[in-house]
Structure 1
Amino acid sequence: MSNLSFPPTRAVGRGAAWYRGDCHVHSVHSDGELTPDELAVRARAAGLDFMATTEHNSAAQSGAWGHLAADDFLIILGEEVTTPTGHWLALGIKPGEVIDWNHRVRDGSINQRLDQVHRAGGLCVAAHPHAPYPSGDFMFSLRGFDVVEVWNGLWTSDRPWNADNEAALAEWGRSLAADLHTGSWRPAMGNSDTHLEGQIGIPHTVVFAEELNTEAILAEIRAGRSWIAESADVDVTFTAHHADGHVAGVGEQLTTSGGRVEVQVAVRGVPAGTVSFHTDGGKVHRASLPGNGAGVVQWDTTAEESMFVRIEVRHPNGDVAALTNPIILV
């Protein structure tokens, strides 16, 4: 792999497994302070299995990233498309491909750019929808976008969560019921938006994929088979069990045949935190974690009572430590 100008689209990985990755990262080739080599070293030290190159309005440079990929570490090519009316991530584009950023809401040309990414097999992510700077607010319609970045780590200073992320999470959470009803819901993801030392992987997205390759990772992010972690110290297992023996995990659909469903969440790494269950009826259940941060919480419901269930795990100060995409009940 060391002689490749661009990273390969496949790594050996661990087969079907949960993979941790950060899909919003900047190097010295745009406005970041770290070199690609430094970013890769720090990503691996942070417990990540993959990362994406997302320089502002430019492609990943030939020769800068290819030698950094490994059997156990995947690098996905991407771009942060930085427009005057919002930023978005184009993930999984072709080597050397650049998505034009000279567009805005009023010119109505966004669909052409989204189509370009989709033709390449890529993923379109609405980035930091409430970022606190000019052009940071996301003004485009979400129609045509695949995913929403509800947790962005750049502007969180010494805390991994802030009011802008809280607003993005609330907005996404409120939209889930209507979007699921129309069959076009958009999963949430979280990324560090790394520019400086110490940011990578805070937060990141944890994805279940059959293989560690670009196609599989992006497909499962698109399907919502993922959750967001503050760091690799945090682990969440989220499942729903029906009395007939059927089980569904995050991003999956569980057919209930009218019976009761036991929703179970196992958490590690959030001392004295809280776990809350959210449905189309809002926050419906809350429980505390022990001082060692490891615990299991259960809650029962039915498809008639709950269209979906998603989870938030918070620190004692209210900051989010982890959150999941929904399990859908039918």
Structure 2
Amino acid sequence: MSDVAQSRYPPRRAAGRGPGWYRGDLHVHSLLSQGADLTPAHLAAAARTLGLDFIATTEHNTAAGHAEWGPYADDDLLVILGQEVTTRTGHWLALGLAPEQAIEWRYGVRDEVIGQHLDQVRRSGGLCVAAHPHAPYLSGTLMYPYDWFDAVEVWNGRWASDLPWNADNEAALAEWGRSLASDIRQGQWLPVVGNSDAHLAGQLGTPHTVVHAEELSCDAVLAGVRAGRSWIAESAAVTLDVTATAANRSGGVGEHLVTDGEPIAVRVQVCGVPSGTITLHTEHGVVHRHSLPDDGTGVTQWRTSADETSFVRVEVRHPDRQMAALSNPIILS
């Protein structure tokens, strides 16, 4: 590819951005997708205004827009090339594609061909995400097993009407949570993400995924998602920090804390959720609740052990039960 052609595409790495937590929306549409009326310029400007560090362009069944994004990416905004693959029996996100790489979409679960297309994405270093698995429209409901993918989008903002969290998201989260303990025991648990699925103005970033990455690059962000080093935020106003500590060792979201039988202290700090509620979840369900004050900032701690549970994860909700943040688990053993 010539230098001129290469410059049309966004770089795969933002210079000068080392290890840290990065906010981004991995499911975004422009004019090239049915029902969308946003341009790349609009989306890039909105992402910067919202404080996002990365977005993924995921047009329906085409890579034709990849070459439009080069001028809008810079060291303050990473643009990941992707595609929403809208099969007849569910949609999925192909993230981290090469420029102009398109993924076949004309099949359903009975055709038994999705595996070869998932493998195509993975061979190129990409990530496969089950999208809005309980979306309420024809072909939107996912009929493929969650565990065929690398992550699952349990929080999708587009289909929640005027609210960022609805019954379809609740169902996707419950389906994931029901098998989490078994999946962890088998060493193959699936991380969750949340995205806006933005088609219209005002939708971007609600919600978005906060990822710990070694740098702001396509490969590092996707590695963070793949490892579960991420949590989901309703907006940039919400912050969440979860740490489990035993003796002189500690682990965060998506990490594995190995103990020698010592007690484990789980500490959760939240900002930006006025009068909200923090809940801690394990294989036994909800094991701890903490009410946040009117200013939305608070800390809670809970003690457990690896004998009592193999994981702990966190949800933060508003007084009306709308989700404000949720985390992937910390694995305990």
TM-score range, shorter chain: over 0.9
Once the two structures are TM-superposed, the CA of residue 144 in structure 1 deviates from its matched residue by 3.0
Counterpart of 2:230? 226
State the shift of 1:43 in Å: 1.0
Listed as ranges, the gaps of 5+ residues in structure 2 are none
SS state of the match for residue 10, structure 1? coil
Partner of 2:257 in structure 1? Answer: 254
Tell whether 2:28 aligns with 1:25: yes
What is the distance in 2 between the residues matched to 1:198 and 1:60?
24
Q: 4+ runs of 1 displaced by more than 4 Å?
A: none
Percent of aligned pairs sharing the same letter = 61
Q: 1:13 to 1:326 in 2, by over 3 A?
A: farther
Specify which of 111, 123, 147 is matched with residue 127 of structure 2: 123
* Selected match of 2:68 from 57, 64, 81: 64
Q: Does 1:271 align with 2:274?
A: yes
Structure 1 residue 27: Cα displacement = 0.1
Deviations 1:271-305 (A, max 9, x none): 00000000011111111001100000110000010
Q: Displacement of 1:124 after TM fit?
A: 0.2
Choose the corresponding residue for 2:165, options 157, 161, 165: 161
Out of 92, 97, 107, the residue aligned to residue 93 of structure 1 is: 97
Measured against aligned partners, the alpha-carbon deviations of 1:115-159 in whole angstroms (never above 9, x if no partner) come to 000011000000000001011110012333100000000011221
Partner SS for 1:201: coil
The answer to whether the 8 A contact 2:147-2:190 is kept is no
Residue-by-residue CA offset, 1:13-45 (whole Å, 9 max, x unaligned) = 531110000000000012211101101100111
Offset, 1:74 = 0.2
Q: How many residues align?
A: 329
Q: Structure 1, residues 158-206: CA drift from partner, whole Å, max 9, x if none? A: 2111000011111111111111111111100000000001000000000
Measure the CA separation in 2 of the matches of 1:324 and 1:14: 24
Residue range with higher mean Cα deviation, 157-166 or 146-155: 157-166
Q: Distance in 2 between matches of 1:221 and 1:61?
A: 24
2:321 to 302, 318, 323: 318
From 73, 80, 86, the equivalent of 1:76 is 80
Q: Please, what TM-score do these two structures have when normalized by structure 1?
A: 0.98
Does residue 292 (structure 1) correspond to residue 299 (structure 2)? The answer is: no
User: Which one-letter code corresponds to 1:155 in the other structure?
Assistant: W
The answer on whether the counterparts of 1:60 and 1:77 sit within 8 Å (CA) in structure 2 is no
CA distance in 2, matches of 1:93, 1:202: 24
CA-to-partner distance for each residue in 1:88-108, whole Å, 9 max, x for gaps?
000001100110001110011
Distance 1:14 1:114 in 2: 30
- Partner of residue 12, structure 1: 15
SS in 1 for 2:320: coil
SS of the equivalent of 1:217 reads helix
2:195 to 186, 191, 196: 191
Equivalent-residue separation in structure 2 for 1:176 and 1:63 (angstroms): 39
Aligned partner of 1:211: which letter?
E
- On the 8 A contact 1:129/1:149 being kept in 2, the answer is yes
Deviation at 1:259, TM superposition (A): 1.1
The 5 Å alignment of 1:144-223 reads 144-223=148-227
CA distance in 1, matches of 2:148, 2:16: 31
When the two chains are superposed, the root-mean-square deviation of aligned CA atoms in Å is 1.2
